[in-house]
Amino acid sequence: MRAWKAVLLINLALVIGVGWGYVFWGLRATGLERDLAVARAAALTGVERQWVVEGVVRAIFPQLGVLVLTHGDIPGFMPAMTMGFRAASPKIQEAVSVGDAVRFTLRGVPPNVAVTTIEKIK
Amino acid sequence: MQHAGHIRHRDGRRRRRREKLHGARVGACRHDSPEKNGRQNGEQGRDPEHAEHSIEESPSTQRRFTIRYTTRVYALGLSARWIHLASSILLVGASAMIVMAGRSDRPTARRWEDRVLAGARGLALLALASGLVVLAVQTALFEGRAGAALDRHAIARVLLETQAGHVWLVRFGFLAILATFLWLRLSVDRRADWRAARGEALLLGVAALVPLAAAGHAAAVEPGTARAIAFDGLHVIAAGVWVGGLLPLALLLRTAATENGADARPHAVLAARRFSRVALGVILLLAVTGALLAITHVGSVAGLVGTSYGRLLLVKLGLLVGILAFAAVNRSVLLARLAGDGPTVGRPTMRRLSGFVAAEAALALTILAVVSALSVTPPARHEAPVWPFGIRLSLAALEGAPVEATRALIGSQVGVLGLAALVAGTVVRAWRLPLVAGALVGLGAGAGLALPPLAIDAYPTTYLRPSVPYQAASIAAGATLYRETCMRCHGGTGAGDGPQGRGLPRLPADLRAPHTAQHTAGDLFWWITNGIPAAGMPGFGTQFTEDQRWELINFLRALSSGYAARGMGSVVEPDRRWLVAPDFTFSVGPTPARTLKEFRGRNVLLVLYALPGSRPRMSQLAEREGTLATLGVEVIAVPIDADPDAIRRLGAEPRVLFPVVTEGAEAIVTAYRLFAASPHAELLIDRQGYVRAIAKSRGEAAELDALLAQIQQLNDEKAPAQAAPEEHVH
């Protein structure tokens, strides 16, 4: 065989090998990422979920039935922040006062969630 | 340049082992251990080295054994790396030299080509074999036990789960293909075939060499990893073509200089000229990429002279000067003498040229040994430099010294004149001697005039980087140490007026004075550690731990910053960022801790308040919180008394919705009251983390529009290119 033909074949094999490897791994990685995103989205929609979170009562709006809570991370729903939550019953707002450190249960189909139980901690 | 994966500082276990090994000068590179991916649990707490070798030995024999074992591994690994690097580079050079010399039909030239190719075959085998040893040693270091070198599971883990392993696989594949290719008996009688075959060998050699860059220190550079790897890749290619080409060239010249080799002389002269031309460009490329890599890995003069990496680099540069001297003689004297028609060219000159080129090659191989050592030494940037001199040179010495400044200015001008004369001397032939003599005088005089005023006292720790970040907690810890120990001489405010300071040979320094570049944090560290004997200051190196000394230095920085900030008012000065807001950690009730740093990119109004005085102002801020949030400012309120029940005390009306710190308040108050000690203080911190305005009051309600205007002013500023403030004192 002529040397230049052999060289051409070797280079072709190299390019195909490297390209195939790259495409194979690259596709697999993006495919996995897509699956993950789909799985995450499926986990979040349309299903009733429940979390137990700790926080501090910052304000109470009795007429609205709303508690403002500074809370920790709510996995898969929202990061730590201060925001208002609907209280499932008036008893819940009456049980606590501003400044209380609390552990509360949040239940519902996101984003429609409400505080269903609450207890002071410490 | 070649070595294992990414630097990871976070993995505590890895780091502990590294430090232990470091005592024996091994494990100098930080590895990304495959253990991280899962098998840590089984091994936790069991040190593999000791478990294997010294279950019942006394601590001292244990230590000796460990060191001996690791030193041996180190030596073995280093030699293997050297042989591997050298053979990989020589492979590229051999092919490159053949391509550069071109095809010749003279018998002696053909013989030379065959001999070089035979050598290349041997080199390919050597590279493969030494590559296996490098891999085995690497595995042993990863796993921390000698037995792992031959454990195929351990080796598989290194190969499949580390970046260094992936690179090794790629390179080994290319080397194997290259070796096979070199062994193929291809007919190269036609020009096209010759070109294809020799070019392919060069291509495969380069492909096997370049990925080294992705497994070396360059791969651990963050940010700018890709750029560093690209520079490193160019650097090794250039080294391959130049350094690797020297030996085959020397062989060609020597063969041609023999009596029987006369027929190859024109070919040899042509090859030498071509190589010389290519080498010039390649050396320039080496210099540029080398300089950029040095800046990346070393970055400072202190790193160059004060760390083992920097000193190895200096050795490398010294050897390089030797090579360049040979190269200059070869190019300008010997090569010029080879001009003229082939067969008549003088054999002695050619023989001498061959000898000089061989000497260059020998020096270059020594450089490769140094490079192998560099590849297992942590880059200077990650090490604490030990400054070896008693003085350092800095422009900061000229601050407030007009006479010295003038002197330095004149000196620098004289020096520039000298430099100009030197340039002229190299260009103008006629006046060379007087010009160069004048240049040397000018440079010497300039240095003599300009440099002495720039000298500042320096200590081994001068360029040490603080190991404790500049944060409220460490400032508060430093404040406690200060009160307990330093206050009696330096005074309650740091003015140097403590009761016990009066009898000292020199009055204690005013610690509130601005800390200019004249005192590095490392200088302070030295003084606190060893004292200042002449002034009567004792050393506290035994009393305080290293971290405590850095905490004290953080406190001193905050103290002097606070003193400098006493004039800062409630109005933002446009584009003047200098007062770094120390980072702090806080939490609101049982919620997870947050840091000030998380708020980067937004403005923060840090409110230090005390009830009942601050109540009117707090009510006002609470009511207008919506407006403040809309303007892009986050309020963080800190009770000065650090009351854990602060939120309840503020009450239900008006509703306070911004964070009120209930944990971490003490440290924040201690640190930030150095900046503002009033009963109620509001510090406006900009998006980059600098304190820009300080409003001191008694907490009474005030016009909020003034504050809103300041916030808007900050919003209107363009985000500066300037980096966020350093987390460490400098």
Out of A84-93, B142-151, B186-195, B591-600, least confident range: B142-151
What would the pLDDT profile of B479-525 be if each residue is shown by its tens digit? 999 999 999 999 988 888 888 888 888 888 888 877 656 788 899 99
- For residue B344, pLDDT over 80 is answered with no
List Cα–Cα distances, A25 to A97, B6, B162, B170, in angstroms. 56, 21, 16, 15
- For residue B664, pLDDT over 50 is answered with yes
Q: Can you give the CATH number for the domain in which B506 is found?
A: 1.10.760.10
Same domain, A31 and A58: no
Q: How far does B206 lie from chain A, in Å, by closest CA?
A: 14
Identify the residue with better confidence: A25 or B687: B687
Same domain, B119 and B249: yes
Residue A48: pLDDT band with limits 50, 70, 90: confident
- Please tell me the predicted confidence (pLDDT) of residue B19: 37
Same domain, A91 and A53: yes
Average pLDDT of the segment spanning B125-139: 93
- Is residue B723 a part of any domain in this protein? no
Average pLDDT of the segment spanning B558-585: 90
Q: How far does A44 lie from chain B, in Å, by closest CA?
A: 23
**Closest alpha carbon to B373 in B72, B77, B24, B70:** B77
Q: How far does A52 lie from chain B, in Å, by closest CA?
A: 12
Judged by CB atoms closer than 8 Å, whether chains meet at B647 and A99 is answered as yes
- For residue B286, pLDDT over 50 is answered with yes
Out of A41-45, B61-65, B222-226, B623-627, least confident range: B61-65
Q: Is the ipTM of this complex over 0.85?
A: no
Average pLDDT of the segment spanning B451-456: 88
Same domain, A36 and A62: no
Confirm if B699 and B621 have CB atoms less than 8 A apart. no
Question: Which residue among B428, B457, B486 closes a domain?
Answer: B457
Same domain, A62 and A81: yes
3-state SS record for B106-164: CHHHHHHHHHHHHHHHHHHHHHHHHHHHHHHHHHHHHHCCHHHHHCHHHHHHHHHHCHH
CA gyration radius for chain A?
27
Q: How far does B655 lie from chain A, in Å, by closest CA?
A: 6
On whether any CB of chain B is under 8 Å from the CB of A68, the answer is yes
Identify the residue with better confidence: B49 or A32: A32
Same domain, A38 and A58: no
Residue B25 DSSP SS3: coil
Identify the residue with better confidence: B192 or A41: B192
Ramachandran class of B71: left when φ > 0, alpha when ψ lies in -120 to 50, beta otherwise:
alpha
Question: ∠B659-B664-B670 over CA atoms, to 5°?
Answer: 110
Closest residue in chain A to residue B644, using alpha carbons only: A99
**Closest alpha carbon to A64 in B626, B655, B646:** B655
Within 13 Å of residue B233, how many CA atoms lie on the same side as its CB?
A: 15
Which helix (H) or strand (E) segment holds residue B265: the answer is helix B265-297
- For residue B17, pLDDT over 60 is answered with no
Backbone φ, ψ for residue B454 (5° rounding): -85, -5
Same domain, A19 and A67: no
Strand partners, B639: B609
- For residue B52, pLDDT over 50 is answered with no
Which of A2, A4, A20, A78 to mutate against chain B (most B CBs within 10 Å)? A4
Same domain, B606 and B546: no
Judged by CB atoms closer than 8 Å, whether chains meet at A70 and B199 is answered as no
Average pLDDT of the segment spanning B63-83: 72
Judged by CB atoms closer than 8 Å, whether chains meet at B657 and A58 is answered as yes
Same domain, B446 and B326: no
A7 contact residues in B (CB cutoff 8 A): 196-197, 199-200
Same domain, B601 and B702: yes
Q: Which residues contact B310 (CB under 8 A, 6 or more apart)?
A: B298, B303, B304, B380, B385
B197 contact residues in A (CB cutoff 8 A): 3-4, 6-7
CB pairs under 8 A between A and B: 89
- Is residue B213 a part of any domain in this protein? yes
- For residue B476, pLDDT over 50 is answered with yes
Residue B358: pLDDT band with limits 50, 70, 90: very high
Same domain, B424 and B478: no
Closest CB to A4: pick one of B193, B649, B651: B193
Same domain, B451 and B592: no
Judged by CB atoms closer than 8 Å, whether chains meet at B590 and A56 is answered as yes
Question: Which residue among B365, B382, B399 closes a domain?
Answer: B382
- For residue B237, pLDDT over 70 is answered with yes
Q: Has this prediction a pTM greater than 0.95?
A: no
Question: Which residue among B548, B566, B584 closes a domain?
Answer: B566
Same domain, A53 and A40: no
A60 contact residues in B (CB cutoff 8 A): 652
Average pLDDT of the segment spanning B69-76: 76
Residue type at position B651 = G
Residue A23 domain boundaries: 1-44
- Please tell me the predicted confidence (pLDDT) of residue B719: 67
Judged by CB atoms closer than 8 Å, whether chains meet at B652 and A59 is answered as yes
Out of A77-86, B163-172, B506-515, B642-651, least confident range: B506-515
Confirm if B54 and B62 have CB atoms less than 8 A apart. yes
**CA B47 centroid distance within chain:** 30
Judged by CB atoms closer than 8 Å, whether chains meet at B659 and A97 is answered as no
Identify the residue with better confidence: B431 or B639: B639
- Please tell me the predicted confidence (pLDDT) of residue B720: 62
- Please tell me the predicted confidence (pLDDT) of residue B39: 36
Same domain, A56 and A92: yes
Same domain, B549 and B444: no
Same domain, B423 and B497: no
Average pLDDT of the segment spanning B690-694: 94
Judged by CB atoms closer than 8 Å, whether chains meet at B181 and A10 is answered as yes
Judged by CB atoms closer than 8 Å, whether chains meet at A59 and B650 is answered as no
Judged by CB atoms closer than 8 Å, whether chains meet at A3 and B197 is answered as yes
- Please tell me the predicted confidence (pLDDT) of residue B61: 40
Give residue for tokens 């090998």.
A17
Same domain, B359 and B410: no
A8 contact residues in B (CB cutoff 8 A): 196
Average pLDDT of the segment spanning A98-110: 90
Q: How far does A56 lie from chain B, in Å, by closest CA?
A: 6
Identify the residue with better confidence: A3 or B563: B563
Supply the mean pLDDT for chain B: 84
List Cα–Cα distances, B668 to B11, B584, B639, B661, B663, in angstroms. 29, 7, 10, 10, 10
Judged by CB atoms closer than 8 Å, whether chains meet at A58 and B655 is answered as yes
Number of neighbouring beta carbons within 10 Å of residue B196? 22
Q: How far does B641 lie from chain A, in Å, by closest CA?
A: 17
Same domain, B450 and B482: no
Percentage of chain B exceeding pLDDT 90: 51
Out of A53-57, B263-267, B302-306, B484-488, least confident range: B263-267
Supply the mean pLDDT for chain A: 87
What would the pLDDT profile of B297-314 be if each residue is shown by its tens digit? 998 899 999 999 999 999
Name the interface residues of B facing A (CB cutoff 8 Å).
Answer: 177, 181, 184, 186-188, 190, 192-197, 199-200, 203, 588-592, 594, 645-652, 655-659, 662
Same domain, A19 and A59: no
Closest CB to A59: pick one of B196, B200, B657: B657
Closest residue in chain B to residue A62, using alpha carbons only: B652
Same domain, A61 and A110: yes
Closest CB to A4: pick one of B192, B646, B651: B192
Closest residue in chain B to residue A102, using alpha carbons only: B590
Average pLDDT of the segment spanning A96-101: 91
Same domain, B279 and B360: yes
Nearest-10 Cα torsion for B82, B83, B85, B91? 160
Q: How far does A39 lie from chain B, in Å, by closest CA?
A: 24
What would the pLDDT profile of B95-124 be if each residue is shown by its tens digit? 999 999 998 888 999 999 999 999 999 999
Q: Can you give the CATH number for the domain in which A65 is found?
A: 2.40.50.320
Which helix (H) or strand (E) segment holds residue A27: the answer is helix A3-44
- Please tell me the predicted confidence (pLDDT) of residue A78: 86
Residue B689 domain boundaries: 570-716
List Cα–Cα distances, A22 to A19, B6, B189, B210, B225, in angstroms. 5, 22, 37, 18, 20
Q: How far does B211 lie from chain A, in Å, by closest CA?
A: 14
- For residue B371, pLDDT over 90 is answered with yes
Q: How far does B220 lie from chain A, in Å, by closest CA?
A: 23
- Is residue B463 a part of any domain in this protein? no
Same domain, A35 and A77: no
Closest CB to B651: pick one of A73, A98, A122: A98
Percentage of chain B exceeding pLDDT 70: 87
- Please tell me the predicted confidence (pLDDT) of residue B65: 41
B177 contact residues in A (CB cutoff 8 A): 10, 14
Which residues, numbered 35 to 64 in chain A, qualify as contacts with chain B under a Cβ-Cβ cut-off of 8 Å? 54-56, 58-60
Judged by CB atoms closer than 8 Å, whether chains meet at B187 and A2 is answered as yes
- Please tell me the predicted confidence (pLDDT) of residue B343: 52
**CA B668 centroid distance within chain:** 32
Same domain, B540 and B665: no
- For residue B651, pLDDT over 80 is answered with yes
Number of neighbouring beta carbons within 10 Å of residue A3? 22
Q: How many domains are there within chain B?
A: 4
Percentage of chain A exceeding pLDDT 90: 34
d(CA B83, CA B131): 9
**CA A67 centroid distance within chain:** 23
Q: How many domains are there within chain A?
A: 2
Confirm if B134 and B80 have CB atoms less than 8 A apart. yes
- Please tell me the predicted confidence (pLDDT) of residue A112: 86
Judged by CB atoms closer than 8 Å, whether chains meet at A3 and B193 is answered as yes
Same domain, A68 and A29: no
Q: How far does B618 lie from chain A, in Å, by closest CA?
A: 14
Judged by CB atoms closer than 8 Å, whether chains meet at B652 and A4 is answered as no
- For residue B40, pLDDT over 60 is answered with no
- Please tell me the predicted confidence (pLDDT) of residue B192: 87
B195 contact residues in A (CB cutoff 8 A): 4
Confirm if B426 and B483 have CB atoms less than 8 A apart. no
